[in-house]
Amino acid sequence: MSPVNLTRGESGIATVTIDRQKQLNALDDATIGMIHDVFDEIAADESIKVVILTGAGEKAFVAGADIQELAQQDSLEARNRALQGQSALAAIEGCGKPVIAMINGFALGGGCELALACHLRYASAKAKLGLPEVTLGIIPGYGGTQRLQRVVGRGRALEMILSGEFVSADKAHAMGLVNGVFDPDELSAGVMAVAETIAQRGPKALGFAIEAVIRGGECNLEEGLAIEADLFGLTSATEDMKEGMNAFLEKRSPEFKGR
């Protein structure tokens, strides 16, 4: 069995499952490489509109990086491992499709960083999230120090990172780390409902909206507004824009083609 499985479903909704259940879906180097490859494939597949990313089993989304590998690394290997992990997670964030993390259990260390690279995050009520790297004498290396503060603010990010403690799903929701919390037996249906709603929207518009938010969030307001205006202009050159406008005027549902 592959540790990273891509399943294409109905309505353009795909599911990526990290499946290393004996290791609580921990991210070893091979799995990181496969994640990168799968999201490169997703980016190139026009039939995929929305992606749900989750972990196999009931215990863990992803319970961190593979400690067996980390324990053997020297300084150069550690830096290269961080760069490879960051590249794989950047492929998720930049795939041009909305990616929803379905956090079904522990999302710790690299698992929390994996969820942070997704555009939306929904958690089971039993989930625990955290960046416990300092308890091992290291720091987050797959983007956690950067993405977490952009999501929850610097103070809360430093509290999580410096304490290394886990937070409950409810606390993660209160601090804005996850978008919503579901009872465990309702998580899959709840996330699928969100995905189905998003999948009905214009694919080009979704990609441009994600780009505007991410790129704009990394610069000042004036530069962000310029990015927004440019991308707004690009959406107006698409067939989907014409279809969306005509459908509204004709009082019918749009049939977007992603062109």
Residues with catalytic function? 113, 133
Residue 4 CB neighbours (<10 A): 22
DSSP 3-state of 224? helix
C-alpha–C-alpha distance, residues 105 and 116, integer Å: 15
Burial class (CB in 10 A: 0-12, 13-18, 19+), 90: middle
Q: What span, in angstroms and rounded, lies between the C-alpha atoms of 175 and 160?
A: 11
Distance between CA atoms of 244 and 240, rounded to whole angstroms? 6
| Type and span of the H or E element at 92 | helix 75-93
Q: What does the alpha-carbon distance between residue 16 and residue 37 come to, in Å, rounded to a whole number?
A: 12
| HSE-up (13 A, CA, CB side) for residue 153 | 7
Instruction: Return the C-alpha torsion angle 15, 113, 173, 164, nearest 10.
Output: 140
Residue type, 29: D
Scanning the structure block, which residue is given the tokens 């496969």? 34
Cα separation, 144 vs 125, in Å, equals 22
